[in-house]
Amino acid sequence: MGQLLNTICQECLNEKNHVLGIGQSSLEISMNLLKGDLSWIEKQVSKSTFEKIKLLEKNNQKDKPPGLRGVSCDFYAKLFECKSCNTVEVHNDIVIRLDNDETFQVKWNCGECNGLLCIAEKPINEYACSECRSTLLKVIGEGVWD
Ligand SMILES: [Zn+2]
Ligand SMILES: [Zn+2]
């Protein structure tokens, strides 16, 4: 379930579709994670982040019978903003939880300046176009999907 947000830049006519929310596949992904299959996470995050998660998962497995992995993961596609570029990107907001109460939040970096992204707080039309940097973004479509 989630939200669709289509924007157009009135300067360069670049159109963007933002798909936000949580996908149909989320249940399947959660089941796989419970079984210790981290391949979905591996596809989402950078190599160094994945190494950190694998290490956490491994440390969490100490003294546990095989098969009990104790890893779960919440994720939700959200708009993230880069404060210096004033642009938004869609990323999965991923929080990994381990049985020992440790959590790990995946951090995202801006594709342009590599700065740390935060969850977007402004309406999307107040951000700049990622192509031409003008602030003439207009929402041309909004919807809900499930
Ligand atoms: Zn940036
Ligand atoms: Zn533009």
Going from the Cα of 125 to the center of ligand 2, the distance in angstroms, rounded, reads 12
Q: Are 101 and 40 in contact (CB under 8 A)?
A: no
Going from the Cα of 70 to the center of ligand 1, the distance in angstroms, rounded, reads 35
* Per-residue confidence (pLDDT) for residue 68, from 0 to 100: 63
Q: pTM of the full predicted structure?
A: 0.84
- Residue in 94, 82, 91, 95 with CA at minimum distance from that of residue 129: 82
Residue 54 corresponds to which tokens in the numbers above?
């694998």
pLDDT at 141 over 90: yes
Q: Picking from 1-10, 52-61, 120-129, which range would have the lowest pLDDT averaged per residue?
A: 52-61
Going from the Cα of 54 to the center of ligand 2, the distance in angstroms, rounded, reads 39
Cα–Cα distance measured from residue 3 to residue 144, given in angstroms and rounded to the nearest whole number: 5
- The amino acid at residue 119 is I
Going from the Cα of 136 to the center of ligand 2, the distance in angstroms, rounded, reads 7
Going from the Cα of 85 to the center of ligand 1, the distance in angstroms, rounded, reads 4
Going from the Cα of 29 to the center of ligand 2, the distance in angstroms, rounded, reads 35
pLDDT tens digits for 86-117? 999 999 999 988 887 889 999 999 999 999 99
Cα–Cα distance measured from residue 146 to residue 50, given in angstroms and rounded to the nearest whole number: 29
* Per-residue confidence (pLDDT) for residue 67, from 0 to 100: 61
Q: Please indicate whether residue 131 or residue 1 has the higher confidence score (pLDDT).
A: 131
Going from the Cα of 28 to the center of ligand 1, the distance in angstroms, rounded, reads 33
Q: How far is CA 29 from the centre of its chain?
A: 14
pLDDT band at 139 (very low <50, low <70, confident <90, very high): very high
Going from the Cα of 108 to the center of ligand 2, the distance in angstroms, rounded, reads 23
Q: What is the mean pLDDT of residues 78-87?
A: 97
Residue ranges covered by each domain of the chain: 2-145
Q: What is the mean pLDDT of residues 139-145?
A: 92
pLDDT tens digits for 31-75? 887 777 888 889 888 899 999 988 888 888 777 766 666 778 888
Going from the Cα of 49 to the center of ligand 1, the distance in angstroms, rounded, reads 20
Going from the Cα of 86 to the center of ligand 1, the distance in angstroms, rounded, reads 7
Going from the Cα of 119 to the center of ligand 1, the distance in angstroms, rounded, reads 13
Residue 26 corresponds to which tokens in the numbers above?
């989320």
